[in-house]
Structure 1
Amino acid sequence: MLTEAQKAFYDANGYLLVKNAVTPDQLSRLREITYRLIDGSRNVTESNEVYDLDTGHTSDNPRLTRVKLPHKRDPYFWELIRKSKLTDVLTELLGPHTNLLTSKLNTKAPGGGRAVEWHQDWAFYPATNDSLLAFGLMLEDVEEANGPLMVIPGTHKGPVLSHQANGYFAGAIDPDDPLFEKDKAVTLTGKAGDMTVHHVRILHGSAPNMSDRNRLILFYECAASDAWPLLGSGSYIHALGQRKFWDDLQDRQITGDPQLSPRMADVPVRMPLPPAPDTGSIFRTQESAGAKSAFSS
């Protein structure tokens, strides 16, 4: 699926844009399911275990930031990551044994849909090594006005910046941090069916959606199975207990088998503590901790 040049680019820069990552039939089915899920939010009045609502959400005008865990809302999302071109890309970059950390269907609403402040995913869930990544599959065309993903190339090989604000883990860096070089950011636009890949340690964010349509991106966050979690901000796994965790781990296995010998790597780590007042989503974490915005005028 990937050329040697693409693999080398990802290793050097920490991100990749993969064209036509799904077939037209797969894309059509994904859109159908996605719009059905959005339509199902019409009678929801506050964020819950399925939906994160955006400001101004009504039954006549559904406005969401995301649908949570779409692979648990419709089995097709799970089938896609396990048996498609996405699976090929995943194993080529992370190896034969991989598992899913989480999935999310970001549906950034039009006319000012919420920004995601600059951060490194690694700050949220450090592990024994950094063989982790995120896929962002575009379900509609993503242009500059939609608030596309932005990344800063090469930062996946640098330090973990502070994600603290007001004494909390805020899930966002301080835009005044001297190590934050926003002028080096690359904007990742593309056509429906294209997919971004970004390394767990790369700095990234996205501006508000100022267009007149939703920005629909399906995200999968994945790990090599020998990358064992140290701590996860707001993570459910610590409350499961040993047996339920084992069952859950097997349920999240995408390819291969669980690896019981963690691979230890010399990688920088900061613990995502103390937790923000509200850790229900990255949006709530950043807002409730009072993270400073890099996108406000």
Structure 2
Amino acid sequence: MLTQDQKEFYDENGYLMVEDVVTPDQLAKLQTITREMIDAARPLKESDERYDLDEGHTAENPRLTRIKLPHMQNPYFWEILTQSRVTEVLNGLLGPNTLINTSKLNTKAPGGGAAVEWHQDWAFYPHTNDDLLAFGLMLEDVDEANGPLMVIPGSHKGPVLSHHVNGVFAGAVNPDDPEFDLSKAVTLTGKAGSMTVHHVRTLHGSAPNMSDRNRLILFYELARADAWPILGSSSYIHALGQRKFWDDIQSRMVTGQPVLEPRLEQVPARMPLPPAPDNTSIFKTQKTAGQKSAFAMG
């Protein structure tokens, strides 16, 4: 369970590191499943509904940017979210009624695995309030060399920066934006089994992986159940209709029950529209919109 000091740190800074959030046995099982999933991607020639391929992917040298929705591909990822210390951290920060928005296993390949440009998750899916967060469970050690997550402390209390360029939603902020101050960035490194937490409005990004090791981080994006979606970038929910949407909400409950009275707060929001030419992943959104990189080499 989180201490009061940890909760206050998260409230003030918009991020948190929690060590040893899974047991050694849980970590070993997660690592095994992940390696099996990466191996299963070897024959692929292009990205599909399960995998985003990185440049240079071959059967001999599988290179992925992401495994999509791992909690729907293997039930153990759901078990970790709902029946471990991860669950305790979730309820400690968001209360008893929580749901999952999405999950992803970012498998940043060695030798230049793709960067994630600086952004605020809130820009992708504004809600009626901002009690949303993301967990990043480290499945391997993360250090300065293999593209760690970076955050800007306190940015969750500031503005929602523009994530638009060339007239479309780019999924990233312009590094030349005067309100973007990279000098304040904090790098979140840690041992396998540690977990980062960042608020939905916290500015964050990660550089390319220049090491000879994968950087495997399992991300869960979660919400308090009284935060209802206004719009979601590349979101399936708008095509569901009322009955299927209700069924979908129930299927995404992690703990507690759905809340039918949305909590409305005065939170800044900008709609993620119009979409980028390819908005099938954050990597494709950022690339095809043409946003300037904060990690450009040389």
Fold equivalence (TM over 0.5): yes
Question: How is 1:87-126 mapped onto 2 (pairs within 5 angstroms)?
Answer: 87-126=87-126
C-alpha distance in 1, partners of 2:256/2:72? Answer: 21
**TM-superposed deviation, 1:287:** 0.4
CA displacement, residues 111-148 of structure 1 (integer Å, 9 cap, x when unaligned) = 00000000000000000000000000000000101100
Question: How is 1:145-184 mapped onto 2 (pairs within 5 angstroms)?
Answer: 145-184=145-184
Length-normalised TM-score, structure 2 = 0.99
Give the secondary structure class of the aligned counterpart of 2:191: coil
Give the secondary structure class of the aligned counterpart of 2:117: strand
- Count of residue pairs the alignment pairs up: 297
C-alpha distance in 2, partners of 1:112/1:178? Answer: 28
C-alpha distance in 2, partners of 1:216/1:63? Answer: 12
Question: How is 1:123-138 mapped onto 2 (pairs within 5 angstroms)?
Answer: 123-138=123-138
The answer for the alignment partner of 2:216 in structure 1 is 216
Give the secondary structure class of the aligned counterpart of 1:247: helix
C-alpha distance in 2, partners of 1:76/1:237? Answer: 25
Give the secondary structure class of the aligned counterpart of 1:37: helix
**TM-superposed deviation, 1:78:** 0.7
CA displacement, residues 174-195 of structure 1 (integer Å, 9 cap, x when unaligned) = 0000000000000000000000
Aligned amino acid, residue 259 of structure 2: Q
Aligned amino acid, residue 87 of structure 2: T
Aligned amino acid, residue 279 of structure 1: N
Confirm whether residue 19 of structure 1 aligns to residue 26 of structure 2.
Answer: no
CA displacement, residues 17-43 of structure 1 (integer Å, 9 cap, x when unaligned) = 000000001000000100000000000
Aligned amino acid, residue 153 of structure 2: P
Counting aligned pairs with the same residue, the percent is: 72
Moved over 2 A (4+): none
The answer for the alignment partner of 1:263 in structure 2 is 263
CA displacement, residues 30-61 of structure 1 (integer Å, 9 cap, x when unaligned) = 00100000000000110000000000000000
The answer for the alignment partner of 2:29 in structure 1 is 29
Aligned amino acid, residue 164 of structure 1: H
**TM-superposed deviation, 1:243:** 1.0
The answer for the alignment partner of 1:61 in structure 2 is 61
Give the secondary structure class of the aligned counterpart of 2:266: coil
CA displacement, residues 57-78 of structure 1 (integer Å, 9 cap, x when unaligned) = 0000000000000001100001
C-alpha distance in 2, partners of 1:82/1:264? Answer: 27
C-alpha distance in 2, partners of 1:103/1:162? Answer: 24
Give the secondary structure class of the aligned counterpart of 1:29: helix
The answer for the alignment partner of 2:41 in structure 1 is 41
C-alpha distance in 2, partners of 1:23/1:291? Answer: 40
Question: How is 1:236-247 mapped onto 2 (pairs within 5 angstroms)?
Answer: 236-247=236-247
The answer for the alignment partner of 1:185 in structure 2 is 185
Aligned amino acid, residue 82 of structure 2: R
Aligned amino acid, residue 44 of structure 2: V
Give the secondary structure class of the aligned counterpart of 1:174: coil
Aligned amino acid, residue 182 of structure 1: L
C-alpha distance in 2, partners of 1:240/1:40? Answer: 30
C-alpha distance in 2, partners of 1:242/1:214? Answer: 41
